[in-house]
Amino acid sequence: MGFEGCFVTGTDTGVGKTLVSAALLCTLARHHARVVGMKPVAAGLVQQGGEWVAEDALALRAASSVLVPPALDNPVMLPEPLSPHLAAARAGRHVDVAELVVSHCELQRHADVVLVEGAGGWRVPLNDSETLADLAVALALPVVLVVGMRLGCLNHALLTAEAIRGDGLTMAGWVANVIDPAMLCLDENIETLCQRLDAPLLGVVPWQATAPDPRSLLLTLPKDWH
| Catalytic center residues | 39
Identify the CA nearest to 10 among candidates 114, 149, 127, 129: 149
The neighbouring-strand residues paired with 77 are 42
CB 79 within 8 A of CB 93: no
Identify the CA nearest to 108 among candidates 4, 203, 211: 4
Identify the CA nearest to 116 among candidates 4, 216, 2, 14: 4
Rounded distance between C-alpha atoms, residue 188 and residue 207, angstroms: 16
Rounded distance between C-alpha atoms, residue 210 and residue 38, angstroms: 24
Residue 45 CB contacts under 8 Å (≥ 6 apart), including other chains = 52, 53, 54, 77, 78, 79
Which pairs with CB-CB distance under 8 Å and at least 24 residues apart come from 181-188? 181/207, 183/149, 183/150, 183/151, 184/151, 186/149
